[in-house]
Structure 1
């Protein structure tokens, strides 16, 4: 799974969403969240160790695990460091996010509400 690329993750997510007849506006939001979480895992945490998309009654859960226990950072933390805007975007689109860290890394789950659209 460590070799999972954004385009592969988006394809998998699109297949799951299609199987559940998810509307295109929600698909777009979910695919953006997938892209950001997977690219962050690849860039900053050595790659994806697990990936899952689940359609729940009121939302879509995107779950990405990686080998780093470090939490994502927001823009300007530290002030001189570039980046962090992907995590900001994920939190703008997702109804809520959860981070579970352990000695083997972390899992981030973003819940995109069925009625949500990116703004």
Structure 2
């Protein structure tokens, strides 16, 4: 994978597709393997969707390589902690945070002036086929 880079500055009110497209461009510059790209795009989608659903909008987004990891950061204006919820009997709902924690088990949450940033590092390599 290539030199460190980042993609700050997605507009407030961005949607999941905009975040995934930014992530694809950054990851293409790293030459990331397909399995890693799939995992990263899943985490991006879940974090952005949760920020929109639970906080109204995304206030910040960044994806970059740091050391042996690719780091995703999503910010919103909520002080509520994400938490796993029981699966919904009415369809495929309430699995997002559990999925994020499975793909990025060392998630960090920082609070700052009425908002939070979730940082999800994933290894820059994968052993999956």
Return closer, same or farther for 1:117/1:103 CA change in 2, 3 Å cut-off: farther
SS in 2 for 1:65: strand
> Which of 111, 125, 129 lines up with 1:101 in the alignment?
111
Give the aligned length.
113
- Is residue 39 of structure 1 aligned with residue 49 of structure 2? yes
TM-score normalized by structure 2?
0.80
Contact 1:26 1:117 in 2 (8 A): no
Match of 1:4?
14
The answer to whether the 8 A contact 1:93-1:117 is kept is: no
- Gap runs ≥5 in structure 1: 77-82
**TM-score, normalization by structure 1:** 0.87
The CA deviation at 1:117 is 6.2
Provide structure 2 residue ranges, at least 5 long, that are not aligned to the other structure. Answer: 1-10, 87-92
Q: Which residue of 2 aligns with 1:64?
A: 74
Aligned with 1:110: secondary structure?
strand
CA distance in 1: counterparts of 2:63 and 2:110, whole angstroms:
17
Deviation at 1:85, TM superposition (A): 1.5
In 2, the alpha carbon distance for the partners of 1:18 and 1:30 equals: 12
